[in-house]
């Protein structure tokens, strides 16, 4: 069985006085240990819902979620998440934010600080340990959020369009930094985006989702050697994957918008 | 057309100009007051002159009676306000984030916030008498329900992502309330305490309407009987200045206690 296994997941929302919405329809997904999996799909396809299910922040109407053979019920520190919105705790400094998880586990303070400073260095924010989030740029905030999620040493890292609010240059730098960290601390990653370039650049596997009701329409293995640099972005192999995904997604976008 | 002139909306102006305009506005009111009184446009018992107010102030500062009245009023206002805040802050935070608590409290707060405090004075006299407790209760009732609504709104607006994020970092429900909801509410709580403190001052005269024998509100009401407009104005100015001071105090506290929070 796969490390993360979603089997026949259906999510129905039934808002009052409105027709029921099927956010996810019979979705099955397998993510292998230590791989970087990306889910790409048009907006409103339920990809965020999918991630929130894995985080334990929502429960499926039907279906089964297993992480390493154990059923997922509720959120836990072993599934770290980076959100699209800025979620640093504004009353805590950068270091205190990163220490938040380890402190909840009642680790000794010096150990928490070591973990934090190590990760702050990994996201290249040494010197900002005592800054408050309001003093940081958007890209810096998301780097701290990444460090904070990693501080718990989660078994899987969930990322919900973490760079979606950043400008494209910053986004590219963040992707490179994320890959660099991922190469060094191998981890299972499930990453959500609507940006096709980002999906191919980062992923070992790219799952393309269909518009509502959300389904996994197609899965591509990205056979591009690592470490990947920006030259990958213009390589023929990259273009080829991009062409495939664009055509898959275009059909979906048309279906979603024009329906 | 220039979009950065004095008359364009949301345009910064030089600090010197800003201060200049503020001072002129203050001076203009002072001049108008002088003109009306010294120019003989208003009868003497209609509006006191600046000099009369000043001499009333000197006399009452000299015999310390002004401070005596200030002390009484501050005791009433601060007691009523603190009592209201101590209850409204925790209850408001819970009310804004727990639907069950909201369901219980919303009908009564929604109703009570529209009742003028003065309408409750007869009941207050009946229930708590005419001592200082009655005056404190007026301030309490005037601020508590407003605070409750404002603070529950602050709490309701705390980002759900912040809370979800804490869950994914391993926090439990109680920890989320203590380490996320509470601190996240603090800037909004401080801002609303500051605003409601201002409202508490506006209830002062109502609070000192019944059976008072000291306090700034009492001083004003008493002066009215003899048409002593100098004393009335002195009372009004004193309340205004004390109000401003408490406002500054709150701004300063917010700056000191919540350095992490974005300035408003």
Q: How do the domains of chain A map onto residue ranges?
A: 4-87+158-258
Q: Mean pLDDT across chain B, nearest whole number?
A: 93
Average pLDDT over residues A190-206: 96
Is the CATH number of domain A4-87+158-258 3.40.50.300?
yes
Strand order in the sheet with A62-67: A21-31, A4-13, A62-67, A70-71
Residue B29 CA to residue B27 CA, distance in Å, equals 5
**B260, A149: Cβ pair inside 8 Å?**
no
**A133, B184: Cβ pair inside 8 Å?**
no
Which residue of A lies nearest to B171 if distances are taken between CA atoms? A104
Which residue of B lies nearest to A147 if distances are taken between CA atoms? B169
pLDDT confidence bin for B66, thresholds 50/70/90: very high
CATH superfamily of the B51-257 domain = MetI-like (1.10.3720.10)
Residue B264 has pLDDT above 60, yes or no: no
Query: What's phi and psi for A148, nearest 5 deg?
Result: -65, -40
- Residue A213 is predicted with a pLDDT of 81
Residue B241 has pLDDT above 90, yes or no: yes
Q: What is the pTM for the complete model shown?
A: 0.89
CB A147 within 8 A of CB A125: yes
Chain B residues within 8 A of A132 when measuring between CB atoms: 259-260
Residue A72 CA to residue A50 CA, distance in Å, equals 13
- Residue B90 is predicted with a pLDDT of 97
ipTM of the complex: 0.93
> For testing the chain A interface, which of B161, B170, B182 should be mutated: the one with the most A CBs within 10 Å?
B170
Cis amide linkage into residue A227, ω under 30° from 0? yes
In a 10 Å sphere around its CB, with 0-12 CB exposed, 13-18 middle and 19+ buried, how is residue A213 labelled? Answer: middle
**B262, A134: Cβ pair inside 8 Å?**
yes
pLDDT confidence bin for A193, thresholds 50/70/90: very high
Q: Mean pLDDT across chain A, nearest whole number?
A: 93
What are the domain boundaries of chain B?
51-257
- Residue A59 is predicted with a pLDDT of 94
């Amino acid at each position: 069985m796969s490390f993360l296994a979603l089997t026949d997941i259906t999510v129905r929302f039934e808002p009052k006085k409105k027709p029921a919405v099927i956010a996810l329809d019979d979705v099955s997904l397998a993510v292998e240990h230590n791989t970087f999996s990306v889910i790409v799909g048009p907006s409103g396809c339920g990809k965020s819902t999918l991630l929130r299910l894995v985080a334990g922040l929502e429960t499926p109407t039907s279906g089964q979620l297993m992480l390493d053979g154990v059923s997922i019920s509720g959120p836990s520190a072993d599934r770290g998440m980076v959100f699209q919105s800025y979620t640093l705790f504004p009353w805590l400094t950068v270091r205190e934010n990163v220490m938040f998880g380890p402190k909840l586990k009642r680790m000794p303070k010096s150990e928490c600080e070591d973990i934090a400073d190590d990760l702050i260095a990994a996201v290249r924010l040494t010197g900002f340990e005592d800054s408050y989030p309001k003093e940081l740029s958007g890209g810096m905030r998301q780097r701290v959020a990444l460090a904070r999620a990693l501080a718990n040493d989660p078994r899987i890292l969930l990322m919900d369009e973490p760079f979606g609010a950043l400008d494209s240059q910053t986004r590219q730098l963040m992707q490179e930094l994320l890959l660099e960290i991922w190469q060094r601390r191998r981890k299972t990653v499930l990453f959500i985006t609507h940006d096709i370039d980002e999906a191919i650049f980062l992923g070992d596997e790219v799952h393309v989702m269909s518009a509502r009701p959300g389904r996994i329409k197609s899965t591509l293995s990205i056979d591009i050697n690592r470490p990947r640099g920006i030259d990958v972005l213009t390589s023929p192999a990259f273009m080829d994957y991009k062409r495939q995904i664009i055509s898959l997604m275009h059909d979906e976008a048309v279906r979603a918008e024009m329906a | 057309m220039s979009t950065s002139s004095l008359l364009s909306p949301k345009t910064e102006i030089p600090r010197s100009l800003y201060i200049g305009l503020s001072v002129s506005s203050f001076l203009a009111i002072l001049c108008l007051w002088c003109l009306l009184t010294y120019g003989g446009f208003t009868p003497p018992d209609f509006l006191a002159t600046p000099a009369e107010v000043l001499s009333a102030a000197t006399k009452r500062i000299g015999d310390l009676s002004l401070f005596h009245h200030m002390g009484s009023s501050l005791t009433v206002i601060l007691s009523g306000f603190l009592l209201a805040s101590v209850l409204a802050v925790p209850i408001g935070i819970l009310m804004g984030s727990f639907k069950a608590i909201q369901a219980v409290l919303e009908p009564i707060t929604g109703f009570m916030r529209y009742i003028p405090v003065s309408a409750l004075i007869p009941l207050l006299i009946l229930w708590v008498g005419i001592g200082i407790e009655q005056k404190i209760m007026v301030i309490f009732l005037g601020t508590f329900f407003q605070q409750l609504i404002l603070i529950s709104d602050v709490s309701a607006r705390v980002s759900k992502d912040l809370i979800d994020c804490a869950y994914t970092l391993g926090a439990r429900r109680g920890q989320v309330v203590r380490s996320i909801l509470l601190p996240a509410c603090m800037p909004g709580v401080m801002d609303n305490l500051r605003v409601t403190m201002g409202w508490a001052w506006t209830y002062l005269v109502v609070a000192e309407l019944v059976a008072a024998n000291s306090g700034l509100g009492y001083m004003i009401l008493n002066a009215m009987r003899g048409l002593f407009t100098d004393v009335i104005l002195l009372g009004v100015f004193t309340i205004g200045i004390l109000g401003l001071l408490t406002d500054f105090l709150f701004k300063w506290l917010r700056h000191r206690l919540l350095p992490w929070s974005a300035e408003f």
